[in-house]
Structure 1
Amino acid sequence: MANFLLLFDLDGTLIDTVPDLANALNEVLGERGYAPLAPREVQAMIGDGVPALVARGFAARGADPAEASVALPRFLAVYEANAANLSRPYPGVRDTLVELRRRGYRTAVCTNKPQRATIAVLRGLDLSDLFDGIAGGDHFAVRKPDPGHLLGLIAELDGRKERAAMIGDNENDAAAAHAAGLPLILMRYGYARVDPATLGAAALLDHFTELPATLARLGLTA
């Protein structure tokens, strides 16, 4: 039997990435003469991938959508070079991942953040060695909330959806997990734009360190 595979969202689940995303977005906005956005404003724009983040940032300053498209490559360059400057894993993330892998779970990242940026932040925070696979938002032809993002990563790792679960924080994680037929665990502390309690999760966690006991309680054993 294949070891149980845990698919993790990144932003708002494993890592608080708002500071570096906000800095990169504000640098690009500033280069084009726009006022900066507050971190809390940027947080509300996260979750649907970088193109959506940049489009929302420029829209918030009244810019033409075409200007956001032109600025996208510059944002990616700035962000990838600074992806781990201020971003930090949530409390207990590294130790919990180490413990889960010690127990026999396989772990992977499934995020709408572009692949290169995802690898940059994981390497910068010394977390990349804790994952068997990484699927950013441009890794497949589809991304969350499309279930193909999750199912594609499971297939890539020779897993089975009957032996996998999604751990995330927002609406896209929930929609993708439900459509794929995967158990869903959500973190309350993340970047969801709605109450996580409304998203049909099997469990809601206040702290990442609760995950091993929650998996055991749900019968999702390695």
Structure 2
Amino acid sequence: MRSLFGGSDPALVLFDLDGTLVDSVPDLALAIDRMLAALELEPAGVARVRDWVGNGAPTLVRRALHGQLDIADATLPVGRFEQAYELFLQFYGESTAALSALYPGVSECLDGLRARGIRLGVATNKPMRFTGDMLQGLGIDGYFDVVIGGDSLPSCKPDPAMLLSAIEQCGATPATTLMVGDSSNDIRAARAAGCKVVGVPYGYNHGEPIEASAPDLIVARLDALL
């Protein structure tokens, strides 16, 4: 990590949540399948949901309703999305962190960065009500100086707004901030914000290798940043 900042530590490290800090797909898939069952539709299953996550809850629900990743030209009957989304919010709210788990190396990374006096934050497209529940449920909420969710601002990643807001709140600058994520949205947001960016290869990137997005550095485990 220090190699990206001329041998020094960054002032701020921002993390994506789903697919970077936490394997959250088991809980997401459970909520999606409960939603689909309530609508008398076939279940999606963990493997398909794993490919669909990463662009926020509304997009995940739309993908589940259509049963596919690409929904650019897809349409739904009037009111169908709203009905499905309310069901998803209900079911996911009942089980946000029960089946989810931190990836190997996350606890060591957060402890090590904190010990070096680096400020930490979360910038995720997950709605805030679930972000807070997940961080608390997994016992890592106390590490972060700033947490920005997918409904905190008018836009989500890959728009850089949430990164820039976090940087401002923490008194850092883009040049002294590192973004860490698992998807092309994280890389694009960091580039647009003017931050250095690290990618992890184990997360949710719609089946595409993180190398294709050309982050500044790729680490197999987050404790390799130390």
| Residue ranges of structure 2 left out of the alignment (5+ in a row) | 1-8, 69-73
Instruction: For residues 34-62 of structure 1, give each alpha carbon's deviation from its aligned partner in whole angstroms, at most 9, with x where no partner exists.
Output: 11112110011101000000000011189
Match of 1:108 in 2: 121
Contact persistence 1:186–1:196 (CA under 8 A): yes
CA distance in 2, matches of 1:127, 1:63: 39
> How much identity, in percent, do the aligned residues show?
37
Instruction: Check conservation: 2:36, 2:42, Cα contact below 8 A.
Output: yes
- Counterpart of 2:213 (choices 199, 205, 208) is 199
- Secondary structure of 2:52's counterpart equals coil
Aligned AA for 1:49?
A: G
> Contact between 2:175 and 2:196, CA under 8 Å: does it hold in 1?
no
Matched, 1:119 2:126: no
Q: Report which stretch shifted further, 69-78 or 128-137.
A: 69-78
Q: How far apart are 1:63 and its partner, in Å?
A: 8.8
The superposition leaves residues 127-177 of structure 1 with CA deviations (integer Å, 9 ceiling, x where unpaired) of 101111100011112210001121011112222212101000001001101
Report how far residue 96 of structure 1 moved. 1.6
Matched, 1:90 2:97: no
CA separation in 2, counterparts of 1:208 and 1:157?
22
SS of 1:44's partner is helix
Q: What does 1:70-89 correspond to in 2, within 5 Å?
A: 70-89=83-102
State how far apart, in whole Å, the 2-side matches of 1:154 and 1:140 are.
14
RMSD of aligned Cα (Å): 1.7
Matched, 1:51 2:58: yes
Which deviates further from its counterpart, 54-63 or 3-12? 54-63
Once the two structures are overlaid, the 10-residue window that deviates more, 60-69 or 129-138, is 60-69
1:68-88 deviation line (CA, Å, top 9, x unaligned): 222212211211221011000
Match of 1:166 in 2: 179
Instruction: Say yes or no: does 1:211 pair with 2:218.
Output: no
Alpha-carbon separation, structure 1, partners of 2:162 and 2:132: 17
Aligned with 2:117: secondary structure?
A: coil
Q: Find the counterpart in structure 2 of residue 215 from structure 1.
A: none
Task: Report the TM-score when normalising by structure 1.
Answer: 0.90
Residue type matched to 2:27 in 1? D
Q: Distance in 1 between matches of 2:167 and 2:37?
A: 40
Partner of 2:155: 142
Output the CA distance in 1 between the equivalents of 2:150 and 2:163: 11
Question: Does 2:48 match 1:18?
Answer: no
TM, length-normalised to structure 2: 0.89
1:94: Cα distance to partner?
1.4
| 195-204 vs 24-33, greater mean Cα deviation | 195-204
1:55–1:69 CA contact under 8 A, matched in 2: no
Indicate the residue corresponding to 1:34 in structure 2. 41
Letter of the structure 1 residue corresponding to residue 170 of structure 2: L
> In the alignment, is residue 189 of structure 1 matched against residue 189 of structure 2?
no
Please give the alpha-carbon distance, in whole angstroms, between the structure 2 residues aligned to 1:22 and 1:67: 19
Aligned partner of residue 185 in structure 1, secondary structure: strand
Q: Where does the alignment leave 5 or more consecutive residues of structure 1 unmatched?
A: 213-222
Equivalent residues of 1:147, 1:179 under 8 A apart: yes
Counterpart pick for 2:112 among 87, 93, 99: 99
- How far apart, in 1, do the equivalents of 2:173 and 2:218 lie? 24
